Amino acid sequence: MAEAEADLAEVRRQGFRVAPSRQAVGVTDLSVPVLGPSGDAMAVLTCAYIEHPGDTGAGQRDATLACLVRLARSLALDLPT
């Protein structure tokens, strides 16, 4: 339980989670909460990012995460108050 609480605290601090998939090798899960009007998470968007052998650095993954963050913020703006 303490590990889950620490993970959630880190997500709250960063605003997202990047972690190896628990289901597939070579996949990184990019997750971003969709926040409701009170700031609570109403949903979560997760993209299973596939690492490619020729990738250099995390640039493409970071760009994908940035798109996911923008989408989550856009969805949050559309939630009823």
pLDDT tens per residue, range 21-68? 999 988 999 999 999 888 889 999 999 999 877 777 778 899 999 999
Burial (CB < 10 A; 0-12, 13-18, 19+), residue 57, is exposed
Q: What is the CATH number of the domain that holds 61?
A: 3.30.450.40
pLDDT at residue 38, as a whole number: 87
Number of domains in the chain: 1
pLDDT category at 81 given cuts 50, 70, 90 is low
CA distances to 15, 23, 38, 47, 81 from 18, in Å:
10, 14, 24, 10, 29
Q: How far apart are CA 8 and CA 51, in angstroms?
A: 24
pLDDT at residue 80 tops 80: no
Q: Which residues contact 81 (CB under 8 A, 6 or more apart)?
A: 37
**C-beta of residue 45 within 8 angstroms of C-beta of residue 72:** yes
Domain that holds residue 53: 2-78
